[in-house]
Amino acid sequence: MFRSRWIFPLLLLSTIPALSQRDPVLKQIDLPHSYYFREMYLPQLTTGPSAAAWMPDSSTLVYAMAGSLWRQKAGTTRAEQLTAGSGYDYQPDVSPDGNWVIYDSYDKDAVELWALDLRDRRHINLQTAGM
């Protein structure tokens, strides 16, 4: 009887060192694990359009879908793919003159800011453009 009364408290005390080795939450956010990074920083792959931006003509949309950017005139079923490649392109924004689309692209291990010149289809990485 005496032994069984001390087993539970001893087991409870043995778990204290394991609890003290856990990293605090703020440190985990500072260096996020893959789940946190994937869910909080990266867009989720969509099967439908998301993050739409209107062109200046107010009748054409640029939107992200399935990792690429698309342009489509409202009321039509035909869409034109603007970006393709190994990265995941999302969050487009159209310049006031309608000549440029600025967007984010996630490829491998970084999110980069890109610009697409709609006049000649030239893609410019804005992180490396000034170097």
Please state the domain count of the chain: 2
pTM: 0.67
Q: Which structural domain range is residue 90 located in? A: 44-125
> Residue 123 to residues 10, 26, 36: CA-CA distances in angstroms?
65, 37, 30
Residues 6+ apart with CB under 8 A from 92: 51, 52, 53, 62, 63, 64, 69, 101, 102, 103
Q: What is the pLDDT of residue 4?
A: 60
- Ordered mean pLDDT values, 10 residues apiece, the chain (131 residues): 60 54 44 56 71 94 92 95 90 96 86 94 86 56
* Residues 52, 110 within the same domain: yes
* Residues 11, 68 within the same domain: no
